Structure 1
Amino acid sequence: MAMTSTVKVWDRPIRLFHWSLAGSVALCWLTADELQSLHEVAGYAVAGLVGLRLALGLAGTRYARFSQFIRSPRRTLLYAGDMLRHKEPRYLGHNPLGAVMVVLLLLMVGGIALTGWMQTTDAYWGVEWVEETHEALAELLLVAIALHVVGVIHASLRHHENLVLAMITGRKRAPAGGDIL
Structure 2
Amino acid sequence: MAPLSRTSGAGESVKVWDPLVRVFHWSLVCLFVFSFVTGDEWKKAHILSGYAIAGLIALRLVWGLLGPHHARFANFLYAPTTILAFLRDSLAFRAKRYLGHNPAGGAMVVLLLAAVSGIVTTGYMMTTDAYWGVGWVEDVHKALVYSTIGLVALHIAGVVLASVEHRENLVRAMVTGRKRRED
Tell me how far apart the structure 2 counterparts of residues 102 and 22 of structure 1 sit (CA, whole Å).
13
Supply the distance in 2 between the matched residues of 1:3 and 1:173 (Cα, whole angstroms).
8
Residue 120 (structure 2) aligns with: 113
Equivalent residue for 2:51, pick from 27, 44, 54: 44
1:14-66 per-residue CA deviation (whole Å, 9 max, x = no partner) reads 00000000011010001012100000011111111111110111111100000
Match of 2:63 among 50, 56, 66: 56
Q: Distance in 2 between matches of 1:30 and 1:2?
A: 40
* Match for residue 80 of structure 1 among 87, 102, 115: 87
1:162 to 153, 158, 169: 169
Cα deviation 1:110-138 (Å, max 9, x = unaligned): 00000000001111111111010001101
- Which ranges of 4 or more aligned residues in structure 1 deviate by more than 6 Å? none
- With structure 1 as the length reference, what TM-score do the two structures score? 0.95
Is structure 2 residue 136 aligned with structure 1 residue 126? no
Question: Structure 2-normalised TM-score?
Answer: 0.94
Structure-1 separation of matches of 2:95 and 2:146: 31
CA positional deviation for 1:84: 2.1
Which stretch has the larger CA shift, 2-11 or 108-117? 2-11
CA-based RMSD of the aligned residues comes to 1.1
Aligned identity (percent) is: 50
Correspondence for 1:179: none
Q: Deviation at 1:77?
A: 1.3
Could you tell me how far apart the structure 2 residues matched to 1:81 and 1:30 are?
36
Tell me, in whole angstroms, the C-alpha distance in 2 between the residues paired with 1:88 and 1:80: 8
Shift of residue 3, structure 1, vs aligned partner: 4.1
Count of residues paired in the alignment: 176
Give the drift of 1:76: 1.0
For the 8 Å contact 2:90–2:162, the answer to whether it is kept is no
Residue 148 of structure 1 pairs with residue 155 of structure 2 = yes
2:179 equivalent to 1:172? yes
Find the aligned partners of 1:174 and 1:100 in 2 and give their Cα distance. 23
Unaligned residue ranges in structure 1 (runs of 5+): 177-181
Stretches of structure 2 that go unaligned for 5 or more consecutive residues are 1-7
